[in-house]
Each structure stands twice: as C-alpha cells, then as structure tokens.
Structure 1
Amino acid sequence: MFDTVSLRFCVFLFLATAANGEFAKSHEEYPRFPPNFVLGVATAAYQIEGAWNVSDKGESIWDRFSHYNDGRIFNNDTGDVASNSYYQYKEDVALIKKLGFTSYRFSVSWPRILPTGFANNVSQDGVNYYHNLIDELLANDIEPLLTIYHWDHPQVLEDAGGWLSSEMVDWFGDFARVVYREYGAKVKRFIPINEPTSICINGYTTGIDAPGKKLHGIGEYLCIHNTIKAHARAYRIYENEFKSKQRGQVGYMYSAFAFMPEDPNDVLTAEIAFEFNAGWTLNPIYSHNGDYPELVKSIVAEKSKQQGYTKSRLPEFEPEWIEYIRGASDFLAVNHYTTRLVKPGQSGIVPSHENDQSVVQFIDSSWKKAASDWLEVVPKGFRYILGELASKYGNPPMYVTENGFSDTGLLHDFDRIKYFYDYLKEMLLAIYVDGVNVQGYYLWSIIDNFEWRRGYSEKFGIVSVDFNHVNKTRTLKDSAVWWQTVLAERNLVPAE
C-alpha cells in the first residue's frame, strides 16, 4: 500500500540530517556507543575457509562456478584455499580477541556439513570443525552469530533446480534443523539466509554469480519466493522444536541499498524503489498483513499482461503461506554499503525486476568510489535507510551485519578508516536522534578474503592476508589499529 506518511518522514529525515548532527554533537553521549551495543566482525565460509575438498565435503555451487576457469571470475581465482581459515581459525579468533571485538558473524558450509546436500548424510568432520570454531570463540568471550547459508549450497541441489525449485524449502529446512541441533546450545543468534536479493538477482537473473543462470524476469521472482519460504521454514523449525530449550533468536537478513530520490519531493519514485527492493522481501515478514507489497503485485501483474504473459511473473503466496511467513523474524539483520539516487525512467532488460520498477538508479559523480565498481561512499544514505526501515516496519531490533570499504590491499588504509568513521557517525545519529533500534554492528571484514567474482583483486579486510604466501600471513592494517582504539574506548575516535 502506498504510504505517504512514512515516505514524508524519510524525506524529512534526509533533509534534517545536518541539523540533527549538530544537535547530537552537543550532547555528551555522542559519539559513544550505547551500553551493551554489540561490536563485531563478519566473514563467510566460502570466502575464507579454503579446504574445498577436505575429508568428505561435497561440491558447492561456488566450487563449480570458480572451476570453470573461463574468466567469469577475475584472474580465474578460486576459493580452493582462500584465506586458509579452515586451518588457521584459531589465529583469526586470536586477532578478533586482540582487537577487542566481542562478536563474530560467520557462516557454515552446507556441503561441508551435508556432503550430499541431504540430511541423511551428516559429516562428522564437518560438524566437528564448526564445534571447534565455536568453542574457540566462547573460550575467548566472543559471541557467535551464525549464518546458516551464505551462498554456497551443494551443487547436487542446484542440479535439481536450486532456488528455482520449491523442494529447496524442505531441503534447507532439513539443513537448518541439523545446524540448530548441533550448535543451538552454544549459539544464540542465527541468520538463515544471507542477502536473498543478491542470490536471486546475481545468481538467477544476470548470472554474474553462481550458479550463473540468466532467467531475467522469471528467475529472480521464483528464487525470492522460495528463499522467503525457506527462511520461514527455518524460523518455524527453531520456534517449534528448539526455542523453548535453547532460548535463542532467528533473524531475517536484508541487503540494504539506500534509494534516495533525486528530487526530494518525488515521493512516488522513492516509494516504488523501496517497495521493489526492501518491501519485496520484508513486507511478507514484517508488515501487518504479510504478502508482497500491493504496489509490487499490481505493477508486475500489469507489465506481465502487457508483455503477453498469461499471469503475473510474480508468484502468489497461498493464504496459509502468508500466515506462516508473517512475523517469522526476531530481529532484522541489515547489510549496508552504499546508496543510489533514483528518478522515473526505464532501465534493464525486458522483462526483469529492474525494468518492472520504471525507476532509473544512478550515482552522484562527486561521490568517492571504493575499489568495487558498485560501492560509492555515501554516509548519509546509511542513516536514511535505517530510518526508512524503522518507520516502515515498526522499528524492530536491528543488527548491522555487514558494512565496509574495498581497496586494492593498502596497509595504510586511511580511506577505509574514514569510511567507517563517517558511516558509524550516521548510525549513531540514527540511534540517538532518530530513535532507530540498532543493537549491534558487524564490519566486513576481519580479514581479506575471496571476493566472489572479483577474486582477490578487491580487499575488504582490516587485516591483510598475503595470498601469495604459503602461510597466508596476516598483518594488521591501520584500520585494525584504529578499531582497536575505538573498541577500547567504546567511542568513535576521529579518523585523523
């Protein structure tokens, strides 16, 4: 439903940022982190572990994708060894402890735990690896935040349809049950699926990520439909089978670009961009009535009709699924890096999720760029999107579970420090001035790692990894030293 009240609130928030910033600076709590605020670091299994064929581990879609050796990944890099964290996890935990972070977000590898993809064959070696990691974290007073799936599902399941198949909902539920059963006594926060929109657009629409399918206008909608169901299945399994004893939480993950209108008065374009991106996956869980946003349903149905389809390319949830999905989250996990400006217009392949919006996304040429071609530095967008999410969805508990800056591997990485400082400042404004319920922040990433299709050409770590050395030597960057001071003082130390 078109919500002018919340959109006007967000536009007001955008325009009032500077004034509110001066207000906050005059109060002594700024720029301190709130009491009990969680400060942690994040990684993902395929990006750091290596050991791709150790023991009985099965093949993942990223194993297959990176082994095509046809240029789809920069320099034909693979995650076969990556940061070697499978063998060096104790060193990584020691770094986290040394710097002063109190939580670590990591993912478990589906084919390492279930080599055939199915729950009838559980790898004891795979299970033990993550027990050892979790035990090492707890021994160092570091809270684990476990992502059940971070893009690396078994290739055998992809061969059977992957996220285009409704069977994936049950297969993922079975995997989640194994994870809860094994680790739920030690882990109290779980995220079932990392960035569903990234999976579905990059993996099943543009094909630039594994599994590399190009089914624009169809694939992304089927994929999201099944990932939302799979998240809900994982949530309900925990709720019904584990929560009463383990007393943990399961949260939904959203990859949050901020979409700010070129014209602050253009409420409609901002609304369409928000609903097609955030609302697409959050409305079924966080809205009062559930289901996809009415705006998205009506636009995709009309465009599908114009394009000659017999029904909307956007699948429909059955009433029982709407109820099953609605409310299936204890906290909202938000990954945020950058911002886009939006204006009315046509873009994208016909048909596609991008084209359906009739919105053009673009950047301001004055924005500073990171090494990644998609990442511009726009700190005010961070506060803007946090405010949007809070106003749209009842200000749920939020954890920022990824935020970071890429370069080409500098040890003296002042631009990364400046990025963190400016973004954290906007987050603190969102908390103290706007009242947004952010309870924790995890930077990406503790160490340099395999950056998907960019291989090892882009670095996000605050700790350098020498990928050319047999020992994958770790070296603190200036940003790590900066963070060590911030964590010791629990205060946003100036970047200078």
Structure 2
Amino acid sequence: MFPPDFAWGAATAAYQIEGGWQADGKGPSIWDTFCREKGRVFEDQNGDLACNSYELWEKDLACIQQLGLTHYRLSLSWARLLPDGTSQNVNQRGVQYYNKVIDDLLASDVSPMVTLYHFDLPQALQDQGGWKSPDIAALFDNYAKFCFQTFGDRVKLWITINEPYVCAKLGHEDGIHAPGLKDKGIAPYVVGHNMLRAHAMAWHSYSSTYRAKQKGAVSLAINSDWFEPLDPGCNEDIAAAQRAIAFTLGWFAWPVFVTGDYPEVMKSAIDAQSDKLGYNGTSRLPRFSSDDPTILGTADFFALNYYTSRKVTPRGSCEHTLSMKSDQDTEEVLDPSWPICGVSWLAVVPYGLRKLLKYIKDTLGNPAVYITENGFSQVGPLQMKDVQRCEFYKSTISEVAKAVQEDGVNVRGYFAWSLMDNFEWADGFSVRFGLFHVDFSDAALDRTIYQSGQEYAKMISKNKSGQSKM
C-alpha cells in the first residue's frame, strides 16, 4: 500500500503531443527548426501534428479518466504562450488552451503537475544565444512569473526545467537533440549553469511573490540512471561509479540540495582534464558568483526521471580530448542479464530505481520525491497485449513500494511515461512509450489502451480502494 495522498500519474510534453505548430499565433521552437534539418530525426519526421492534442484534448482527457489518474504531468509550450519568448507579446489563444486543459483536469478531480520547459525553447531566443547566453536566466524567470500569475491559482505542482542534463549534453555536445550543437567540453557546462541560474531565479520569484497565496511547490526534474561499479571489489570501478553519478544526478542535485555548488568529484575531474589540455588553471565549469541567485534550497521536492541502470568502469585510455566523456572518464556496461526494451540503451532494471531512491534519501537530506518519468518502450511490430510492459510496471511499482516501506524513502508519487504514444524526439514515431496506442496512420489519431494501460489502471484502483479502508 502507498500513502493515501500518493500521486498516481502519467506524463507528456508539449512538443511531443500537441501538434498545432503554427496554430493560432504560436511561434516556432528549436524543435520545429531542428526537425526541418535533413537527417536529424528518424525518417525526417516532426511534431507538426504529433497526437494533435491541441485540437483533440478531449481524447487525452478521456484517456486520463479511463486510467483513473489522480495527477497528470504536462508541459507548457513557451512559444505557444509567448511566441517571441517575452511577455511583451502574449498569445491569448495559447493561454485559453492551457486554461481549458487545467480547468478540465480539475473538474475531473485530476491535479495538474505543470512543467515550464521541456526542451522546446522559442527559436527567437535561440537566435539570441539560447541557453548558452547568460541573459536566458532572466528571460526564463519572466516567462515563469507570467505562468505563475496566469495559472498558479490552480496549479500546485510546478517543474521549472525538465532534464537539464539532456538539454545540455544531447543538445549542445552530442548534437542529437535541438538545437543540434556539438560544442564539446564547454557548451554543456555553460548551458547547465544557466539552467540552474534560471531555475533558481524562478523558484525565488515564486517564493517571494506567489507562494503565500497560491501555496504550491516548485522543483526541477533531474534525470539519472543508477550507476554501480562493474566490480564491487575494485576501487577504480567504485570511483568510476561515483564520477558517473556526480556528472548526472549530482551535476544538478548537489547545487540545489547539498552545497549550493557542483560536486567536488565533478569539479576536480574537469579541472584535472583541463590542466592536461593546457587550460592553465582556468576551469571550463562555470563558477557561481555573488551576482547569481542563491541555488541551495531552491526545490520543494525532488523530481526524478529514471529509466535504466549501468555498471561502470574507468575508460582505461589516456584520451586528452575536449568532451564531457573524457572529463568523466567512465565506460558504461550493460549487464547481459538485463532485458532490453525497444531502444538499445533502455535496459530494464527496476531494482535500480529503488537503489537510486535510497541514494537520494541518504545523500540529499531525505526530500519528498516524485518519480516524474519512468517507462518502457516498444519498437517494431505493434503489440497491444504488451505483456513485457505489464510486467515492467508491476516490478517497478513493487520496487517503489519497497523503497517506501522498507527503506523509508518519502516517495509522494509516480508518473508513467507516457500517457500515449507520441513524437519521441530524434526517434520520431518509431519508439512507443504510451499507455495508449495512437494510430498515426489515421487522420482520426484514435487512442486505444494497451494491456499495460489496463494493468496500470487496476494498480491505481487497487491502491485507491486499499487507501479508503485504512
């Protein structure tokens, strides 16, 4: 059994489901631009239409009601609300759309968790330097204040930024997410730094102006795998696992929850590599200054996106190249006993979530935790009777229950990724994470529940009924 007020949710993101990319005054985002560059996305697909949730919201709401969710995590499209990225130009049709979504959820007794930024920066701001520019923090803060003012009377759970690690590394070092840059070893740290500054400014704005009246909670969603040493008896492997978690979860969790600064393991690794590359004492990892907002304490809960785990060992090479990978000096290994679901990187390791939850409790001061994303993908032939995914959800939620009951982790909610099949970033529509299947070959874009969706609904119902007897 989970606590009576446990949040049972599913999650989505605006660019992945909404479509309506030019509808009613919406401005372009970096993902609109990225998808138009040949070879960036599977079969050059894009999110122009996606699930067409902009026009078919009632179908989404019916799916939410069918599952019996208590919470629904959605993101706002910054470019739909503020087409040029600034509150000088408000798109009222975008405001009306999100007002309807929020009001319909509440009328259905479903609480919204709203993400302000889920990868889709307005292109107008990218043209001014995007997340590499220090000015972006104040621009984001103004956007956040607009959203708090407009929707905060009804929204009680806010996520400022989703997965800053992914935006920084995949978007600015690897080049496989928008904006598609490959500025290795420098840009990702600058981007991560500016995202932390932006998050902190927004959190302080909420606390000083809106919290007393709106009584909500604000955090940022941090993604992390669980990392453990390839050989638990090998000191080098233990150190490598510590570096791996410092460079992912620690990169953003340490400044917010622990010290107000980056992990020492991360700082020393980057500085050591910088010295080898001739930087002469100049760090590539930006330092927080007295002009920056206070970072420490700027989260009212821990929002965790977890998908998989890795065994870790040192790379074993003396590579002196400029990249995050060289700085981290780790090699990630898949345990052959872990089943792979769909995409090659996604090994199914439910126990890794429990271990990561306990790590968060033990190292970050036992915060309240919402698991804001967790899911299982399908590729290839469609399986509506997705037995493996059913088993995945049962096993994973069982591990979360153990974390709550046996490890004493303060888990407040679980959000499955995703409510429905959608545009899965660079994988386009080839990868399906949904609890509902969406038929993208048909103009009606009908949503049909998978067996896993039915099983998830049963788990939610069982826990609700169990709670009513407590």
TM-score norm. by structure 2 comes to 0.95
Misfit runs of 4+, over 6 Å: none
Distance verdict in 2 for CA 1:269–1:74, change over 3 Å: same
Question: Residue 432 of structure 1: which of 405, 424, 428 is its match?
Answer: 405
Does 2:7 match 1:38? yes
1:364 Cα offset (Å): 1.1
Tell whether the 8 Å contact from 2:165 to 2:223 is kept in structure 1 after alignment: yes
1:147 aligns with 2:115: yes
Corresponding letter in the other structure for 1:299: A
Q: Is 1:482 aligned with 2:451?
A: no
* Aligned 8 A contact 1:216 1:349 in 2: no
Secondary structure (helix, strand or coil) at the match of 2:39 reads coil
> Residue 54 of structure 1 aligns with which residue?
23
Q: Distance in 1 between matches of 2:119 and 2:253?
A: 19
Deviation at 1:412, TM superposition (A): 0.9
8 Å CA contact 2:203, 2:218 repeated in 1: yes
- CA gap 1:407/1:128 in 2 versus in 1, 3 angstroms: same
Question: What residue is the counterpart of 2:46 in the other structure?
Answer: 78
Report the residue type matching 1:336 in the other structure.
Y
Aligned-partner Cα distance in 1 for 2:270–2:305: 26
Amino acid in structure 1 at the alignment position of 2:145: R
Q: 1:193 to 1:492 in 2, by over 3 A?
A: farther
Structure 2 partner of 1:21: none
Amino acid at match of 1:170: A
Separation in 2 of the partners of 1:350 and 1:156? Answer: 33
1:100 correspondence with 2:68: yes
1:399 counterpart = 2:367:
no
Name the SS for the 2:5 alignment partner.
coil
The separation in 2 between residues aligned to 1:187 and 1:104, in whole angstroms, is 11
Distance in 1 (CA, whole Å) between partners of 2:239 and 2:118 is 33
1:369 is paired with a residue of what secondary structure? coil
Aligned length: 459
- Measured after TM superposition, the shift of residue 491 of structure 1 is 7.9
Q: Does 1:294 align with 2:267?
A: no
Structure 2 counterpart of 1:340: 310
Single out whichever of 343-352 and 72-81 deviates more from structure 2. Answer: 343-352
Q: What residue identity is the alignment partner of 1:400?
A: I
2:208 equivalent to 1:235: no
Check whether the contact 1:346–1:355 (CA below 8 A) recurs between aligned residues: no
Q: Counterparts in 2 of 1:402-421, with a 5 A limit?
A: 402-408=373-379, 409-421=382-394
> Is the Cα–Cα contact under 8 Å of residues 260 and 381 in structure 1 kept in the other structure?
no
The alignment partner of 1:439 has SS state of: strand
Matches within 5 A, 1:54-203: 54-68=23-37, 70-203=38-171
Once residues 160 and 74 of structure 1 are traced to their aligned partners in structure 2, the CA distance between those partners, rounded to angstroms, is 28
SS of the residue corresponding to residue 145 of structure 1 reads strand
Distance in 2 between the 1:349 and 1:54 partners? 48
> Could you tell me how far apart the structure 2 residues matched to 1:123 and 1:284 are?
35
The answer to whether the 8 Å contact 1:386/1:430 transfers is yes
**Residue of structure 2 aligned with 1:217, choices 185, 204, 211:** 185
* Structure 2: distance between partners of 1:376 and 1:346: 24
- How far apart, in 1, do the equivalents of 2:149 and 2:171 lie? 30
* Alpha carbons 1:337, 1:375 under 8 Å: kept: yes
- Aligned-residue offset at 1:346: 4.4
Q: Does 1:467 align with 2:440?
A: yes
Residues 230 and 333 in structure 2, CA contact (< 8 A), matched pair in contact too: no
**In the alignment, is the contact (CA less than 8 A) between 1:486 and 1:492 conserved in 2?**
no
The residue type equivalent to 1:65 in the other structure is F
Could you say which residue in structure 2 is the equivalent of 1:29?
Answer: none
2-structure distance, mates of 1:259, 1:130: 38
1:457 maps to which residue?
430
2:315 aligned with 1:378: no
3-state SS of the aligned residue for 1:376? coil
Q: State the one-letter code of the partner of 1:332.
A: F
The answer on 1:351 being equivalent to 2:322 is yes
- Are positions 1:259 and 2:230 aligned together? no
Query: Structure 1 vs Structure 2: percent identity of aligned residues?
Result: 42
Backbone CA RMSD of aligned residues: 1.6
Deviation of 1:252 (Å): 2.2
Letter in 2 for 1:330: D
The answer (yes or no) to whether the contact 2:41–2:427 under 8 Å persists in 1 is yes
Determine if contact 1:37/1:439 at 8 Å carries over to the other structure: yes
Q: Secondary structure at the match of 1:144?
A: strand
- Counterpart CA distance in 2 for 1:477 and 1:355 is 42
Deviation at 1:253, TM superposition (A): 1.4
Counterpart pick for 1:445 among 418, 422, 439: 418
Are 2:260 and 2:294, in contact at CA under 8 Å, matched by a contact in 1? no
Partner Cα distance (1:487, 1:426) in 2: 16
Asked if the contact 1:257/1:338 (under 8 Å) is kept, the reply is yes
Deviation string 1:131-180 (CA, Å, 9 cap, x unpaired) is: 01001101100000000000001111111111111011011011101110
Output the CA distance in 1 between the equivalents of 2:342 and 2:257: 34
Deviation, 1:371, is 1.0
Pick the aligned partner of 1:304 from 230, 252, 274.
274
Classify the secondary structure of the residue corresponding to 1:366. coil
Letter in 1 for 2:3: P
